[in-house]
Each structure stands twice: as structure tokens, then as C-alpha cells.
Structure 1
Amino acid sequence: MLRHACSGKGLRVLSPKALPSGDAESAWVLEWKEPSCAPRLKEEKTTLLASALIEAFERHLSEFSRLVPVEVGLGRRFSYVYTDSGHLGLAYAPQDEPIPAKILSAPSLIDIVRYAWQHPVASSLALAAANAAMSALIDRDRGVVRFGGDVVEELGVGAGDRVALVGYVEGVASALIDRGARLVVYEDNPMHRRWAERSGLTVLPGSQIVLGVEDYDYLIATGASLIDPRLVHVLLEARGKKSVRAAVVGPSSSFHPYAAVRLGFNVIAGSYVPRVFRETVLRLVKAGYGFRAIRGFVEKWVWGG
């Protein structure tokens, strides 16, 4: 019996001889018994992020909604969903709890995205599943996005504009400085905070952005910030009062632009892993590597509405 650390329940390993059918096709079979402390998700609950992703599937990705997730996991830096069609989706991986049982047993991509914002790990894997579907769409038609674009240029940031960068991204910060923008970084990661401070930037705790969205002309957020519902809610509220143009960037935000617009963003910048590199990237992610290790294997794209 493989036991989860927080419960007497866990995974029971069955040899082929123990199977009722006597099927020896696989050397071992794992029978899931949900730990009592595993995150409990509700099928009937639909959040704003789940609704946006589901609508994107229904309107633009219906042919990919039933792709089967054959590998679902959490690396040290990224969560990942790998499908039976060979498509890979990644997202920032919070290290909170194990993967909820309902997601491990989900029969298709759309059945994973339904649980977004019910739990941080569920949200991460919902984004990864949506990103896998977008990868399938790009495989079929690369023209749905613009490769090699610049998110700062796409937004139209100019000298003197007030910009909030939620999650420090060195390349984006450098581009904003070069344009003469008045930049404030919101970041919780101690190492990223130190990098931003060494560049002479004003750095505030990430959670404080919920108090000051209306102070800015532009907001650029990493896809990882979408795991916390608060940013999207305050962005939508702020956009109802003033013109705040917003973008979401990074591997976690490699989903369909329709969902980004529903969440209040004008521009989305994502990453696409070409088929020839997917197994390599998956191995690196499983081994705990982050974006610095995989960036040579991905193509960046931008969409602006």
C-alpha cells in the first residue's frame, strides 16, 4: 500500500494476477483511494475563470475539448497536462497540496478546466489543460496568433504611462523602462523581488495590487497571477470605472484569447512548444526545471484585441 502522508488511504498497487480480468497488459495497476485531506472539488460550482475557459472551448476549441489527458502532474515549477494526441500544456505550479482526485480521473481536458478557482492546484491544472488545447489549435493553424510579437508594443505603452507589473518578468520590465514608463512591480517571490530591486525598480508585495489597480494606465500580469481570483475581480471592477489596458503573459497564459478577453485582458502573450520538443520539455518539467531551462524549446506568441 502506497500511503499519502496525511491519511491512511492512498494508492493500492495491484499486480496483474490480482485483477479480476487477469489482464497482464500492464505490469502494475494503481487503484486510487482518495486521501481524506485531499482537496474536495464541487462539480456543480462554476467560477469566473472556469466559465471563461469553458466558453473558449465551446466557441473555439470544441474539437479539442475531449482530448484525453494521459499525464497530469506537478513539477517543482510547472504543472503539466499531456494528452493522447501529443499536446502539452504547462502552468505555474503552486506547492500547496496534491492533485485533487477528480482531476486525476478527469476523462478530458474540458473536465479539468471545470474546477478552476476551487483550489490553487486545480486552477493551475485547469490553465495547463486549456493551454494544451490551444497548442492543438496552433498545430492546426499557426495564424491564430502572432509569433515573435512584443506585449509592451501590442499594449501601446508610452513615455510617462503608469504601469503595474504583477509578477517580475525581466524582459518585460526592461522594455517598459526603455519606453520611459513609470513602472511599479508587485511581487511576492523573494528572489524575484531582489532582482527587481537591483534594477532600481519600486517593488511592492504582490497582494497590494488589489488595492491600487485604478492608479495605473496599464497592467501587465503573469499567467501565474490568475491562480488567485482577486486580481481578475479587481481588474474587471477597475475597468468599469476607467480605461485600464491589461495584458497577461507567460507560459501559464498560453490559452485561447477569448478567455483572456472574458477575464478583462486586452492582450495575451503565451508560449507554444513545437511537437518535436514536447517530450524534452516534459522531461525537464518533471525534473523540476523552470522557464529558464525550457525557453530554448518554446516559441513566444502574442494576440492583441
Structure 2
Amino acid sequence: MSAQSPAWDPAQYLRHAGHRARPFTDLVARVPALPGDRPRIADLGCGPGNVTALLADRWPTAHITGYDNSPEMLDKAVVDHEGPTAGGGRLDFEPADARTWTPGEPYDLIVSNATLQWVPGHPDRFADWVAGLRPGGTFAFQVPGNFSAPSHRLMRELAGSARWRDRLGDTLRHADAVLGPEAYLERLTGLGCAADVWETTYIHLLTGEDPVLDWVKGTGLRPVLTALGDDPAAREEFLAEYRTALREAYPAGPHGTPFPFRRVFAVATKEA
């Protein structure tokens, strides 16, 4: 990831909100009972808050705080979701960066959904986050495991080509942005947690014109769009090249465009 943080567009991100929420609901479904009657929950990298709000369905009395370092995402989350919840809990949002955030109080659950791939060296943060859990509390996360997929490989190859390498060569994350399931399991069990780690490949059926490009515009392509944000002509030139490559890699079928997407999940529970 380059030194320049990508600018986020909540509306673009939410265009595929249903598909993006599926891994979060699958992750939360594996979280065991929490130790507190009125749980304290942190969502690291909450984005626009749409999946953070789902935590209140599972734990109605919880005080849930979503943390993010994007002002645009936080503004959307506050407007759409902040306030008391139907079960007597509360949902609020605060600025924070997962690279430096440390729990300032005991949490029953720290959850992170498709965020840690943006945090270089994120496994080194696990010890601080587990230390911030109550006994019997849980740290749960999911990250994309698709950095070798055509969507990301083609993006990196184009950014590193002769035409673009001077402007984009160090902009994108590489295949080592996340660990494999076994490595996460080793890290979490090494911290004394009972860990459940798995992977799933979703086959999203996307519709519309150039839907894979539309998807990555909301996430993985943000660093490129940010780096070229002051040069609309160059931005459109890059998008045209990338669009052509994606159409070949992900051909549309009679019912839409199949988009395989591997994700890695971990649920780690601290000893009670």
C-alpha cells in the first residue's frame, strides 16, 4: 500500500452491499456466546456502518462502536446508523486507524470485516487486541484471500507496466497482504486463544455492464483511483485498459458474470 491513503466512496462501495455483507454474516454466525450481559463490541474498519448495524441484531443490548479512518465512510455511518438500538443498546462511530488502535477498555468482541488486508503487518497487532478482550471474549475477522485472482493480478500487472509504473508502481498491495489460514491459526493459538479458522470461495453472480470493474472500484482499485484523481484523462485510460482485461478474464454468462472470491475467516476466543 502506498503512503497515500485511498479516498473512499461510500456510494460506490454500497453498490454491492448484499454480496459484501454475506461473509460478515457468516463470520458473526460462528462467534460464540459473549461474556457480558450488555456486551461491549468494537468493529474495526466499519466503513459505512451497514454491516456494523447487523451486530445489534445478534446482540440487541450491546454498546457497539464502529471505528474507521475514512471521514467519508464515518459520515455515512453516523447519518444512517448511529443512535440507540431497538434492543436497548447503542451504536456509535469514532475515527481510528487499525494500524495504531488499541482497546481503551475491555471488549467482549472485537470484529473486523475486510479491513486488515489494508494494514501492513496486521498479525503483529493481534496481541494488543486479544489483550483488550474480557476473559471469554472473542476476536473475529475475515479478509479477502483473492490477491492472486485475475481481478487483482491484472490490476497489479497493469500498474507495473511501462506506461504506468512511474505513477502506480508502488501503489497496490501484493499477494502477501494477508496470511494463509494455517498462519493465522498459528498466530492466534500462540496467543492462548481457541481458534476456528477456515476459508470459503464465494461465486458471486454479478449483473450489469462490467460488473467486476464496478466491484473493484469500491475496494481494491481505490488506491489507483486516488493516485490518478487529479488526472481524469490518465484515470480513464487506465480504466479502459483494465476493463478490457477484466472482460476477457470474467466473461459474462446468460444470467450474469460469475465472480469467484476467496475469503479467509478466523474466530479466536480468549480463555475464560
TM-score for both structures, normalised by structure 1: 0.39
Larger radius of gyration: 1
